[in-house]
């Protein structure tokens, strides 16, 4: 029997703006009825008493990083697909920072072919094409050829650093109509900084990167946009200082969107040395855990609060997972020397819900919109409302289920998460693709 009756489940639909308790009848994920009459329920339907649980559209990851091809020891595509499904992500978009990079149509086709051959359930795959050759920030890639290969947009996933090259990329790439995702960051100003400059950097004894490393790079891009129209997406915002500039550009009607990493909504510099418990846990991370060396570097508490407020106001459109698997050997080094990034596909929804929604910082609809509706729209694949007759990926989430983040519970060999060994609350319990 493939028919499920979810009794008294909390239905969250960001497209329709609905957040209410309902009974939902599903046939292999297709919505048959909402609050059905008794005669509409077929014999043999699987009845699930779902009080306290949540039904919502599948989550959409705006950008993440894959080990395969090139760095399979960090993680394979099969592991990434399994982790995504376990975390409720039914669409994922991968950055081109593989080896070789996705800077030519042949590389895009190769990764798609690998994805198609994966066994088991897997999310829908989207690919970002590289802005520059080898995503190295030196020479422009074959943008028109990549666009014809069916990418969702252009991104290097790294700071380009050359404002003249950025100008040319906006001129050429903007004419193709696809979003251009920029990690706006001055390499010169940010050099050596492993935490955002401020009181926390001084206390931690770490080299601080000034907020101007981000805001000055954003200002340069906005200067270019004053003379041309190109759909720009600012990825990985991390400094409070940048947010008014992005808001002002949007108020002018410029085609500017923005996203933030899920970890920057939860953590700041006060969590690095183990002084405070990790959000969603009753104990701190290991002092100077390299999994908290992120891109951009973690900021001060005021930066985190400003990012959450910008998400509430709509200045920031979406939350990205920016899943970045690394091997134990790569991450088991001094904090400032570790590669930047952490895994997150299986942890993002439970921790964002238990900390931000349960903690009153975000509405449930705001969180689901930023994790599903808006990233889907930015990728050019908008969601539909959940209503009778609709058929799209759905997930069932139990926000009270406790589980321990340990290797046997994860779907990846990469374990670079500060929550490793911690008990967290909330887990996806069913996915309809």
Encode pLDDT of 145-177 as tens digits: 999 999 999 999 999 989 999 999 999 999 999
pLDDT below 50 — which residues of the chain?
A: none
The residues with which 91 forms a beta bridge, in sequence order, are 60, 124
CA distance 153 to 320: 15
389 C-beta neighbours (distance < 10 Å), count? 9
Match domain 59-384 to its CATH number in 3.40.30.10, 3.40.50.360, 3.90.230.10, 3.20.20.140: 3.20.20.140
Contact criterion met (CB below 8 Å) for 426 and 400: yes
pLDDT score recorded for residue 227: 87
Q: Return residue ranges of the chain for CATH 3.20.20.140.
A: 59-384
Establish whether 398 is a catalytic residue: no
What does the pLDDT read at residue 161?
84
- Span 56-98, pLDDT tens digits: 999 999 999 999 999 999 999 999 999 999 999 999 999 999 9
Inter-CA distances, 13 with 190, 311, 427, Å: 40, 18, 19
Q: Which one of 268, 303, 322, 366 is the catalytic residue?
A: 322
Q: Please report, for residues 142, 265, 352, 382, the alpha-carbon distance to residue 66 in angstroms, rounded to integers and kept in the order given.
A: 22, 22, 23, 24
């Amino acid at each position: 029997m493939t028919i499920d009756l979810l009794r008294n489940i909390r239905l969250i639909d960001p497209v329709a703006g609905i957040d209410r308790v309902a009974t939902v009848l599903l046939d292999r994920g297709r919505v048959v009825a909402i609050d059905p009459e008794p005669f509409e329920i077929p014999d043999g339907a699987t009845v699930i008493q779902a009080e306290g649980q949540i039904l919502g559209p599948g989550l959409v990851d705006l950008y993440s990083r894959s080990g395969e091809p090139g760095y399979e020891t960090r993680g394979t595509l099969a592991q990434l697909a399994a982790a995504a499904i376990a975390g409720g992500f039914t669409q994922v978009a991968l950055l081109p920072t593989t080896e070789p990079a996705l800077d030519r149509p042949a590389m895009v086709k190769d990764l798609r072919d690998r994805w198609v051959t994966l066994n088991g359930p897997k999310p829908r795959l989207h690919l970002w094409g590289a802005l520059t050759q080898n995503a190295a920030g030196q020479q422009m890639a074959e943008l028109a050829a990549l666009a014809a290969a069916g990418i969702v947009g252009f991104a290097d996933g790294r700071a380009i650093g050359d404002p003249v090259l950025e100008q040319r990329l906006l001129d050429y790439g903007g004419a193709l109509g696809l979003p251009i995702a920029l990690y706006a960051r001055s390499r010169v100003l940010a050099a050596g900084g492993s935490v955002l400059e401020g009181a926390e950097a001084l206390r931690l004894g770490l080299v601080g990167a000034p907020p101007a490393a981000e805001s000055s790079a954003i200002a340069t891009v906005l200067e270019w946009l004053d003379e041309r129209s190109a759909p720009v997406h600012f990825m990985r915002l991390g400094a409070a200082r940048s947010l008014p500039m992005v808001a002002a550009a949007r108020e002018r009607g410029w085609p500017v969107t923005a996203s933030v990493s899920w970890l920057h909504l939860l953590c700041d510099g006060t969590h690095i040395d183990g002084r405070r418990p990790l959000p969603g846990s009753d104990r701190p991370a290991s002092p100077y855990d390299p999994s908290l060396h992120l891109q951009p570097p973690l900021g001060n508490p005021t930066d985190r609060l400003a990012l959450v407020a910008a998400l509430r106001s709509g200045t920031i459109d979406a939350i990205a997972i920016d899943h970045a698997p690394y091997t134990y050997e790569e991450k088991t080094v001094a904090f400032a020397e570790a590669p930047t990034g952490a895994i997150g596909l299986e942890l993002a929804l439970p921790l964002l819900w238990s900390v931000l929604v349960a903690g009153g910082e975000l509405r449930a609809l705001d969180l689901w919109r930023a994790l599903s509706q808006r990233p889907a729209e930015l990728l050019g694949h908008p969601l539909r409302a959940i209503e009778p007759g609709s058929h799209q990926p759905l997930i069932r989430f139990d926000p009270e289920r406790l589980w321990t983040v340990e290797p046997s519970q994860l779907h990846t060999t990469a374990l670079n998460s500060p929550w490793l060994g911690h008990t967290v609350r909330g887990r996806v319990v069913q996915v309809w693709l």
